[in-house]
Amino acid sequence: MRLSSTFMVLAFAFAAIPARVDEAAAGDLKGHGGPIKAIVVSRDGGRALTASFDYSAIYWGLDSSEPYVLHRLIGHDAAVNAVAFSHDERLAVTASDDGTVGIWDLGAGALRHRFQGHTGKVVAVAVSPDGRWAASAAWDRTIRLWDLDAMTPGPVFSGHSGNVNAVVFAPGGDTIHSSGHDGTIRSWTIPGGEESTILRHGWGINTLRALPGGRLLFGALDGTVAVVDAATGETVHAFEAYEAPVVASAVSGDAAIVAAGGANGRISIWAADRWRTVHTHDNPYGPVWAIAFAADKRSLYYAGLDDFAINLSLDPVAAFEPAKGAYPRRFQVTEDMDLGERMFAGRCSVCHTLTPDDANRAGPTLYHLFGRKAGSVSGYAYSDALRRSRIIWSEETIDRLFTVGPQHYTPGTKMPLQSITDPQERAALIAFLKSNTDEPAASGPGSSKQ
């Protein structure tokens, strides 16, 4: 039995949740303008990378009392879903909803190369131990290899019957393992791509991590977290099942502890010697999209609906911490909203503010939208299509935008592909924008505080 992982995760993510407003605390990674999808920490613990819905990745310095932004990596045309360090940690590899894989020079903070070839969103990346290959997994049912020495495309591996959700290199670097919506874990030799099926779980497998001794840690849509032997497919250990889809996992640098995160906000941490539970942390404002251990294992970073990653103490163990974000989030629809505000919250607020500050979100501010030429906000990295556009934003042009969809009204734009077919909903959204884009909003769906 299989269900859509997106459907099940969103059912947890957007369920009714209690309201609370707090700010990020010391030690948290604060700088993105949208939910964080992935986190990775360098081997020495002095640097980190995060990937976000805001179309960017951030390269962080962790070698002071407060994390700081070294470089903001901007170059994708859609959400960034995954990120990895190269073997020497001089490069970053990113994966995006735009179907591309980015290679970044971390010293300069610049995009070095952008690989194209996938025909669906890319959701996972990994780098071989020798640094030769980057591997990417995508929702076009393929895994692709990219030669990081020559900066050229490598082999393409096909065999999964559904979206591919995860990819990892075996310790020797001559094999990769992948998992996907079809409920299987598969093995592929490099470079030939000879395929074998390690496990048929039945439910979609969302996360996959390599462990020493040829073992794999996986998390699945039905709440299963287990360790399997990659050579035999036998289950080494099965943990107590989650009551929600497992959407994140992590392994410490020395593989002494492992963790999993669920769509219900639960984080579980186990010691790898006897698989005993070390700690559990419940965040009622889940899901947990990403987890990464600090190098000293005294804390971990996790991310969910917030625009920042939370630093959770493991030594000493943190007691339950109240939510640090603004809940409900700006993009979560609540019953007290009128139709226009509801449309803005669900359709626009995750990417746009109503204030002069864009708050590092994926799209430009909508402040003073009406009468503005498309592609004209200073400092925003517009697509060429929008920069060349002659559109002036008005009630008529905004209505047309959502009637036919951005992909038809402004071909080549970075705007998410969406339309609003109901004329009443379009009219309500336009009326809301007319009333809220002339002056900064103090709070609400478009405020920079959410």
Nearest-angstrom CA–CA distance, 290 and 164 = 18
Residues carrying CATH 2.130.10.10, the chain? 5-327
Q: What is the mean pLDDT of residues 266-292?
A: 91
pLDDT at 383: 86
Q: What is the mean pLDDT of residues 373-402?
A: 91
The topology (CATH level 3) of 5-327 is Methylamine Dehydrogenase; Chain H (2.130.10)
Q: Exposed, middle or buried, 58 (CB in 10 Å: 0-12/13-18/19+)?
A: buried
Task: Give yes or no for residue 442 having a pLDDT over 60.
Answer: no
* Bridge partners, 267 (sequence order): 261, 281
Angle between helices 395-404 and 423-436 (to 10 degrees): 140
Residues carrying CATH 1.10.760.10, the chain? 339-436
pLDDT at 357: 87
Question: What are the tens digits of pLDDT across the range 101-136?
Answer: 999 999 999 999 999 999 999 999 999 999 999 999
pLDDT at 47: 98
Tell how far CA 393 is from the center of its chain. 31
Domain 339-436 has CATH 3.40.50.720: no
> Residues 231, 238: contact at Cβ < 8 Å?
no
The answer, as to whether pTM is greater than 0.85, is: yes
Question: What are the tens digits of pLDDT across the range 328-349?
Answer: 666 676 777 899 888 898 888 8
Strand, coil or helix: 227: strand
pLDDT at 294: 96
Q: What is the mean pLDDT of residues 134-143?
A: 98
Strand, coil or helix: 3: coil
DSSP character at residue 240: P
pLDDT at 390: 92
Beta-carbon count within 10 A of 222 CB? 20
pLDDT at 329: 64
> Residues 337, 63: contact at Cβ < 8 Å?
no
- Number of helices (H), then strands (E), in the chain: 6, 30
| Average pLDDT in the chain | 89
